[in-house]
Structure 1
Amino acid sequence: MGALLDIVRQSLSTLWAHKLRSFLTMFGIAWGVGSLLLLVGLGEGFRSGQDKNLANLGQDIMFVFPGRIPAVEGSLQSGRPYNFTYDDYVAIRNEAKFLRALSPVLNREDIRAVSEYGSTNGQVFGVAPDYGHIRTVPVNPGRWFNEEDNTEHRRVAIVGWELLRNVFPGRPAVGNTILLNGIDFDVIGVVEKVGKEGNNGTNGRIFVPVETMRMLFPLKGEHGENAISFINYRPLTKEQHLRAKQEVHEIIARRHSFDPKLEDAFTDWDTIENAMRVAKIFDAMDWFLGVVGLVTLALGAIGIINIMLVSVTERTKEIGLRKALGATYRNILTQFFIEGAFLTALSGGIGLAISVAFVTVLAQLPAPEGFDTPRIVPVSAVGAILSLAIAGIVAGLYPARKAALLPPVEALRQE
């Protein structure tokens, strides 16, 4: 043990004698470890932020909007716009087998919302009770719609967080009355702020039962009394989202007498497909950032090998003298290995500490919209440590072996 401690002291003394060279060599490793962890951590923060943005819309939701269909029945070319109808929604609800939840949306943006305390132009959504199981609409205080509210055409409303501040500034909304185009509605709930900055569209909406909406505020235009704006739904499982989309298309196409494969007939927004696409992009980005960090780490390790080889050359006579005085192959090997491994481990530890400190500071700052707080990813940290261990072994062992194999007589002849 005493001999090993002597070797460690000699190694540290040698490194300290060449402080500038040791520092510059360590910088490459520290930069490699720090950049690997920081780049992957920032990428994970962005991934998490995008996941939360999708979660603010709802869980595994899909939208379908009407497009354009042939002006002449049986034609394969799109020509005229059309509307979904409430009867389309009913048919999908009764026939579809791959849906977990379904809601029509009747959207009007020209309705004036007035209370005793304030007024604003509101976006009013007429929706079914299932809408609360599809979209993110956390109601507090109050409650969401039930089937009785819808089937009995009750004049009840749920207001968004932002609209609440304009119509009921500093006052409770639940239990009060709001006038929508002069018609009184009882406020039964308030949707909590959705989204990090509160700029989600849900915050500025008023929700009413779709049957009440159809009766009092139908869509304008021809056949508006039975028209709806679009349909929201959730598939039974994520894996069945394409089958669910096909099923919805087929039912609507059959009812409107056109080919469901007509490209322009539907405009779909499939958040499941979007999330899968985004996940693949982030996986590729993580791999790319990880490879960049590992390449930087490898370059740092090569720098340590070069410096240690220079050190072996500079100390050839010292090695020969030590061997002549009784130092064994193992003594020389151990000393140079410790020097290389110590340089690698210390610089890697500095890089790890800097990246952790930097991420901790970033966590205290407000993240931009779409980003979440960056964090050290355990997998990348383990990968960095393993890569660091391999780099330390290579950086220490190769020059150490070269030094230990020097013949003492030849080494003593070197100037």
Structure 2
Amino acid sequence: MGVTQAFKLAVKSLSGSKMRAFLTMLGIIIGVGSVIILVSLMQGMTGEMTAMFEDMGTNTLDVMVTGRGSSRTVDVDDIYALYEQNKDVFMGISPAVSVKGTVKTGTDSDAFDATGVTGVSEQYAQLSKLTLAEGRFISYADLTARSRVAVVGSYIANTVFGGRAVGQTLKVNGNPFTVVGVLEEKGDSTAGSADDCLYIPYTTAAKMTFGRIESFVFATQDAALNAQGTALIDDALYAVFQNENYYTISDMQEIVDSMEEMTGMMTMVLVGIAGISLLVGGIGIMNIMLVSVTERTREIGIRKSLGAKKKDIMRQFVIEAGTTSALGGVIGIVFGAAVAVALGKAIGINAVPSLSAVALSFGVSVFIGVFFGFMPANKAAKLNPIDALRYE
């Protein structure tokens, strides 16, 4: 008996008892569906987080120079000198001065406590990939003159000024600022989101905070140069402080790589847990196939008496088990893909099943069916034809 004939017999056997076949496949369906759903959701979440970091720029290096406890200091001119000397590595630089306080538009009822106020340079928009919807960004002239100008996010522009923010005035800790630009919407334009922000010249921010500028953002020409850029900054700062505890350098690309590695490990753990369902499904197939061998003992005896060999009997039952698990795998893939896409839309991520996840799930489901179908097939093949014909 050939493979084609054995496959036709397997399909006939499954169609003859649809309910039992479905219950046999249920474990495989749940297992494959669970793997597809979990892998799709994790890949969707990883993609969203990676995209978020890429929007901020994976070629950026965040440098914090505290210098607390040291008699030595590094000022803005020193950092800019480092940048000027290594323009083949660095694309740009910007100090970053965080201003704590309240943004108001004239009255106490218009206070915005959650709005992030940051002092930056004229290069910050390029470094952080900020796009203007209206007006302009901070200029070099604003820095030298310590101008009180501001670039606001879409939340403030829409909430306070009804979309017409350029030229309007708002107050930061009581200091009036003229809005010269509005950023394009990046998030959901709600309070506390990425759109609830306000940028002013870092020179003005430093004057308002009465503090030394400690935070800087470097951008390399390419993310592949991040390691070289980190080494240059580290060497320069270590030469001053002789102690790495006085500064920190954060590589955005390393953060992204670590995040992807972590989510990859989480995916493997979740897939392993979901894989238990596949194991249970395989055991279910084995049990049903053992029952099928018992029910078809006389059939096996007749086939052997007509000349069927041991390998023919084994092939029939192994193919039947593999067909059962393969069909369950297909149903599981369809079920898992549908649920994954629906859940992805519900939570706002792109959870589309990858080809690798589908191929892996289907391959494992077929392997489990064949593996667990071998024992019943071997039992059927070893039956004595005389004893099998006598079986009632």
Q: 1:293 to 1:373 in 2, by over 3 A?
A: same
Q: Say yes or no: does 1:203 pair with 2:195.
A: yes
AA of the residue aligned to 2:241: F
Q: Give the SS at the match of 1:218.
A: helix
Distance in 1 between residues matched to 2:189 and 2:59, nearest whole Å: 22
Partners in 2 of 1:209 and 1:132 — Cα distance? 12
Going from structure 1 to structure 2, the CA distance change for 1:324 and 1:72 (only over 3 Å counts) comes to: closer
Which letter maps to 1:93? Y
Deviations 1:50-78 (A, max 9, x none): 223423544332222232443567xxxxx
Q: Shift in Å at residue 102 of structure 1?
A: 0.8
Show the 5 A alignment for 1:133-172. Answer: 133-151=126-144, 156-168=149-161, 170-172=162-164
1:311 is matched with 292
Using a 3 Å threshold, how does the CA distance of structure 1 residues 318 and 62 change in structure 2: closer, same or farther?
same
- What is residue 207 of structure 2 aligned with on the other side? 218
Q: What is residue 166 of structure 2 aligned with on the other side?
A: 174
Task: Give the one of 72, 77, 83 matched to 1:93.
Answer: 83
- 8 Å CA contact 2:97–2:118 kept in 1: the answer is yes
User: Do the aligned partners of 2:150 and 2:177 also contact (CA within 8 Å) in 1?
Assistant: no
| 2:347 is the counterpart of 1:366 | yes
Deviations 1:242-289 (A, max 9, x none): 4423432443455xx521x332x1244432222221111122223333
Percent identity between the two aligned chains = 28
Residues 307-355 of structure 1 show CA distances to partners (whole Å, capped at 9, x for unaligned) of: 2133223322232134435667676456434432332122112211211
Q: Do the aligned residues in 1 keep the contact of 2:238 with 2:244 (CA within 8 Å)?
A: no
> Could you state the TM-score of these two structures normalised by the residue count of structure 1?
0.78
- Is 1:353 the counterpart of 2:334? The answer is yes
Alpha-carbon distance in structure 2 between the residues aligned to 1:112 and 1:305: 69
Tell me the amino acid that sits aligned with residue 92 of structure 1: L
1:241 to 212, 218, 226: 226
- Kindly state the Cα deviation for residue 26 of structure 1 after the two structures are TM-superposed: 1.2
2:361 maps to what in 1? 384
Contact 2:50 2:256 in 1 (8 A): yes
**Cα pair 1:156 1:209 within 8 Å, conserved:** yes
Give, in whole Å, the separation in 2 of the partners of 1:89 and 1:66: 10
Q: Which moved more, 1:50-59 or 1:16-25?
A: 16-25
User: C-alpha separation between the residues in 1 aligned to 2:92 and 2:194?
Assistant: 19
Contact 1:102–1:233 (CA<8 Å) still a contact in 2?
A: yes
Pair 321,270 (structure 1): closer, same or farther in 2 beyond 3 Å: same
Give the deviation of 1:104 after TM superposition.
Answer: 0.9
Match of 1:78 in 2: none
Aligned to 2:263: 282
- Corresponding residue for 1:77? none
Letter matched to residue 311 of structure 1: S
Aligned residues: 387
- Summarize deviations over 1:376-413 as a string: whole Å, max 9, x none: 12211111122233334445565445434534223223
Aligned to 1:109: 100
